[in-house]
Structure formats: C-alpha cells, structure tokens
Structure 1
Amino acid sequence: MTITPKPGDPVWADLYTADLDRSIAFYGELFGWTADRGGPEFGGYTTFSKDGSAVAGAMSRQEDAGDPYPDRWTVYLSSTDAAATTAKASEAGGQVFLPPMAVADIGTMAVLADVGGVGVGVWQADTFGGFQARGTVADGTWSGHAGVPSWFELMTRAYEPSLTFYRDVFGWDDTFTVADSDEFRYTTLHATSPMLGGVMDANGHLPEGVPGAWTVYFGAEDVDTTAARAAELGGAIVFEPMDTPYGRLAGLTDATGAHFSIGGNKR
C-alpha cells in the first residue's frame, strides 16, 4: 500500500550488521527479499526489495568505528528540514549522533538519540521518498504482502518525556492514547487509520538492563511458520507467537542478533 507520509512518519528502516552477506541470505530466505548493493559512492549500502519495491536497507558495521552496541535496525522518521529537526532535538534534550548528511541526490539523513536515549533516524527526502511498499494494521487486522514493513514501535522507559520530545521535534500532533494504566501505557502515531506505529511504556516490560528501542514489525502470512523459519535460518525467537488485540505477534532476532518483530492476523 502507498501512504503519503506526513512529517514525523516512519519512512525508512535499515539494518546495521556485522555480516552483510549473512544478513542478505537470512532475509532473502525468510521474506523473499532481493538485495541491490550500492557502489563505492554509497559505501556499499544495500537496498532490499520485495516484489520489486524497496522495503528496507542494510549497511556493514565499520570495524574501526568503536560502536559498542549490537547489530540493530534503525527507524527513520520523515522531516522536511533535517537540520531544523536535529536542532530541535538538541534543544529538547536529545543527542545528535550523526549530523545531517546529504546522500547524493536522494535525500539527507541524520541519526539522533531521543530524550530516553533511544536511537532514531531522520530522513529528508529528495529523489527517494522511502518505503515503496508497506502494510497496514487496523483493528488488529494486518493487510499487505508478507515481508513488508507494517508497524513501528518505540519501547521506552521515558514514556511521557518521549511523547513530548516527538511532538516537539517531529510534529506528532495527531496521536491517540490507547491505554493509560500502570500495567499498560500505549499511544499511537495518528489517531485514525492507517495508524503507523506507537509508543509503549517499557517500564515493567523490558528486562532489567535491556535498553529501549524502536522496533520494526514486518508482516507475516503465518506468524508461527515465519518465526520457526527464522530460527532454522540461524535467528532466534525472543518471544513466542501470541494472539493479542492487535493481531498475532512474535519477537525475533536475525542471524547476527539484530532484533525485529513480525505480525499477522490471528489464527
């Protein structure tokens, strides 16, 4: 499905991986993705496609970068002015990891840490707008092809400060509070369908010492089968498939340990 993004919407996601070849093989087998490796001018950046439409990217870890964090997916939010967005982020208590950088003529990127310390990307589109295919989630029903990005979720221990941060920095002025209790706090990005993602209070849900993160949910025709296949391919099941009011969900890691999730319709 094609969705015209608004400022602050998730528009891209890419994988930072220690073994690009292994990651290409893993996602190719799991989701049927094809990989187009960029030339030297793009640092070998790889674009994943599903049925001819770009759905994600990947880049190799830099051995001399001194990055202590594990392999991971990064979610990029749309901005009409990446420089202004990074300035707002600094003013709002965030941190700029990568200042705005032009990527040929396709757009400008930046990477931040939000007020809760969670990494998030910024994408100012030029010739490349981001996802060329994506699924939707409405009332627990997942629509769209398997293997396409369908939901984006921030789990944070700084729930209220993070909501304020994203409203101030990315213009999230159209959110909806799904639940607000000590057991479960959740706010969606956009108050009407298609809702693109949400923010969850991670206190009491994440194990001690596990940091908050943005997570990409890819659609799955059969969540249980896809989860089992991921494990066969060298990944792991972090939380077993379960039915929820929001569909059937499972948490996984890929063959090099990067976390992602899958979702689909209930059994």
Structure 2
Amino acid sequence: MPEVDGYVHGDFSWVDLCTEEPDKAKAFYAALFGLTFRDETDGSQVVYTLGLKGEKPVLGLLEKPQQMCEMGIPNVWETYISVDSADEALAMVGPAGGTPMGPVMEPSGAGRMVVVADPTGAVAILWEALGQDGAELKSEHGTLCWNQLLTSDVDKALAFYSELLGWTPIPLDMEGSVGISHNGEMIGSAGPLPMEGIPPHWAVYFAVDDCDATAAQCGELGGQVIVPPMDTPPGRMAQLMDDTGAMFWVITLNPDFSMD
C-alpha cells in the first residue's frame, strides 16, 4: 500500500523536521533514505523543503524559528493530523482539555494549520489540506509508517484526541501500549514514557529495508544509535538521532504482523 490517495479527518498525514541546520539535515536524510529535496517559498523569507521519493512528497523540512532556538526547543520531527476544518478543530481544543499554541495559519497556500498541545503537553499539528494532502507514499524505505504518542498519562491524552478526531483507543498486549483505531483501521499507538525526564511527544517511525544497515549508516553519517536494533512483533526497529540532534525510529516491518 505504499501509495496514498488522500486523507480524511483524523488520519496521520505528514511529518516534518524542524531544525536549526536544514542543509545539514538534507544531506543526512538524502544519504540515509535515498530522498531528494525541493525548496519551496511563498515569496517571503520562509523556505519549506519537500522530501521526495521519486517525484512524490513524503516528508518536510524547515528551519527552526529563532524564537524556538532561544527557548531551547530541540530539533524535532513534528506530527501532522488531518482535519476537515482547522477553525472548527481549534474551537474544540480548549473544551476537550488541550491548549492551542497559536492561531490558525496558512503557509504557502498548501493548507491551513494549527499547533496544539494535548493535556499532557505533547504537541501535534492539525492540518486542513488545501493544495497538499500529505505524504503520497508510506511504509516503504525512507517513508513514514507509524506515529506513536509517548506520554505521562495515556488515558488522559487519548481522551482528548478521541473527542477531537474521532479515534478509538484499543488495548494492546505490548508493554502497556494502546492502539489508535480510526475508521476501523489501526493507524498509530500510544504508550507510557520510557524514562523520567523525557517530555511527552509524538515519535515518528520510518520504514527501512534493513534496520541494522540503516543504523550502521546513521553512525557513518554523523548521527547516533540511541536504541540499538531489536526484534519486536511489528518488526526489527531502532531509535536513531540525526547529525543535527533530532531523534526518530526506523523499522523493518514484519510482513506477517497484524494489529487487527
């Protein structure tokens, strides 16, 4: 299923990397995932970069705003979730227990977005597509395949997202994880934070053909292996950090595994 033909309200649709060193990050992910990059601008000084597999957009990259740098916010992969209306979603955030992080924005005419924090502090971007639905390929080498919420209170966070997006939490027999079901399909998961001192966040997983080879290549490119490759029911996975300090997961998917 790598090709994706559009997204509906509540789907995970896109990820992008917010980094202080966009050129360095482009070189890293071009080598690691085999992507090419295309810079786009709306005529202002803001440049947004599309990561392409072939000719299809699969992820984004942008330079971290100076204000975020001054606040000490690390380089980070951001998770986008499709909504029918950014304005309607924004109006629901507060009553559902979340916190809007700003007004609705409309970057480059591609869509309308609002950044929100769930009740535990994890940040996500709600995306109303106008010209760009999201990733056109998923679950093949170098493309997004999974989104996982790591949080201090799984039930509280998922109650928020369920009210906002229509998700259904599904218990999983996987170290306290909870599945996220949407329109009858398992689209992501949530679980407790792995250790103290880590703030709640959305983790992103990219599919790779060979987890061990990708982890080794990450080190050769100046990145780090945070969690070495390990076997899990969904596949062999590892947590990596790129050479700008942003963390992400890679996984060689187990074709025989199903959460259904």
Match of 1:223 in 2: 211
Q: Distance in 1 between matches of 2:14 and 2:215?
A: 23
After TM superposition, list the pairs within 5 Å mapping 1:32-111 onto structure 2: 32-39=34-41, 41=43, 43-65=46-68, 66-111=70-115
Query: Contact conserved, 2:41 with 2:108, CA < 8 A, in 1?
Result: no
In the superposition, the TM-score normalised over structure 2's length comes to 0.90
Match of 1:124 in 2: 128
Match of 1:146 in 2: 141
Q: Which AA in structure 2 matches 1:111?
A: V
Q: Distance in 2 between matches of 1:100 and 1:191?
A: 26
Report how many residues are paired: 251
Query: Contact conserved, 1:179 with 1:187, CA < 8 A, in 2?
Result: no
SS across alignment from 2:78: strand
Q: Distance in 2 between matches of 1:239 and 1:190?
A: 29
Q: Which AA in structure 1 matches 2:187?
A: L
Q: Which AA in structure 2 matches 1:34?
A: T
Q: Distance in 1 between matches of 2:72 and 2:19?
A: 13
Query: Contact conserved, 2:98 with 2:117, CA < 8 A, in 1?
Result: yes
After TM superposition, list the pairs within 5 Å mapping 1:9-28 onto structure 2: 9-28=11-30
Identical counterparts, % of pairs: 33
Q: What are the ranges of 5 or more consecutive residues in structure 2 without an aligned counterpart? A: 256-260
Match of 2:171 in 1: 177
Match of 2:258 in 1: none
SS across alignment from 1:176: strand
1:96 Cα deviation from its structure 2 partner: 1.2
Match of 1:142 in 2: none
Where does structure 1 differ by over 4 angstroms across 4 or more consecutive aligned residues?
none
Q: Distance in 2 between matches of 1:131 and 1:186?
A: 24
Q: Distance in 2 between matches of 1:215 and 1:230?
A: 18
Q: Distance in 1 between matches of 2:236 and 2:48?
A: 32
1:49 Cα deviation from its structure 2 partner: 0.6
Match of 1:255 in 2: 243
Match of 1:240 in 2: 228
Q: Which AA in structure 2 matches 1:154?
A: L
Q: Which AA in structure 1 matches 2:143?
A: V
Q: Distance in 2 between matches of 1:191 and 1:239?
A: 33
In the superposition, the TM-score normalised over structure 1's length comes to 0.88
Q: Distance in 1 between matches of 2:40 and 2:253?
A: 35
RMSD: 1.9
Spell out, residue by residue over 1:130-153, the C-alpha distance to the aligned partner (whole angstroms, 9 max, x if none): 111111xxxxxxxxx200111111
SS across alignment from 1:133: coil
SS across alignment from 2:172: strand
1:3 Cα deviation from its structure 2 partner: 4.9
SS across alignment from 2:173: strand
Q: Which is worse superposed, 209-218 or 4-13? A: 4-13
Q: Which AA in structure 1 matches 2:85?
A: D
Q: Distance in 2 between matches of 1:109 and 1:243?
A: 37
SS across alignment from 1:243: strand
SS across alignment from 2:104: strand
Query: Contact conserved, 1:92 with 1:168, CA < 8 A, in 2?
Result: yes
Q: What are the ranges of 5 or more consecutive residues in structure 1 without an aligned counterpart? A: 136-144
Query: Contact conserved, 2:118 with 2:160, CA < 8 A, in 1?
Result: yes
1:175 Cα deviation from its structure 2 partner: 4.0
